[in-house]
């Protein structure tokens, strides 16, 4: 599928306008107001709800392996979860996950 230059610019401008309006709805219209407690309580769980949905497909169906389960990524994910539960330290969890990913990559590949 190929697009003309005008179609590409229309898509870019449309996406930019949509992104701007979405941010304006939160920051411009209700940015100066105090939010109800129930909204703030739900917003605390936004990252916790979104991150697994973004990361899980990368672990279970990585494009680098053609969508097949990869023991290197699965092992690194399990080690990362274990370090996170054990230490409750985000920085240590990130570094430990990266270290296990590289170590498994070089030992199993």
Q: What is the pLDDT of residues 23-60, one digit of tens each?
A: 888 788 777 788 889 988 988 888 888 988 898 898 88
3-state helix, strand, coil in the chain (%, to 5): 80, 0, 20
- Residues ≥6 apart with Cβ < 8 Å to 55: 77
Q: What percent of the chain has pLDDT over 90?
A: 54
- Annotated domain spans of the chain: 1-33, 46-108
What does R_g of the chain's alpha carbons equal in angstroms? Answer: 20
Q: Quick one: pLDDT at residue 35?
A: 83
Residue 62: which pLDDT band, with cuts at 50, 70 and 90?
confident
What per-residue confidence (pLDDT) applies to 72? 92
Residue 28, pLDDT score? 80
77: pLDDT strictly greater than 90: yes
Predicted confidence at residue 37, as pLDDT, reads 93
The whole-model pTM stands at 0.61
Answer for the pair 79, 58: CB distance below 8 angstroms, yes or no. Answer: no
């Amino acid at each position: 599928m190929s697009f003309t230059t005008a179609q590409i610019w229309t898509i870019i401008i449309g996406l930019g306008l949509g992104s701007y309006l979405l941010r304006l709805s939160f920051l411009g219209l209700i940015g100066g107001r105090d939010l109800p407690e129930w909204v703030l309580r739900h917003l605390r769980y936004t990252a916790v709800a979104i991150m697994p949905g973004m990361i899980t497909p990368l672990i279970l169906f990585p494009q680098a392996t053609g969508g097949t389960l990869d023991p290197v990524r699965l092992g690194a994910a399990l080690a990362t979860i274990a370090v996170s539960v054990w230490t409750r330290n985000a920085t240590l969890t990130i570094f430990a996950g990266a270290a296990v990913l590289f170590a498994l990559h070089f030992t199993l590949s």
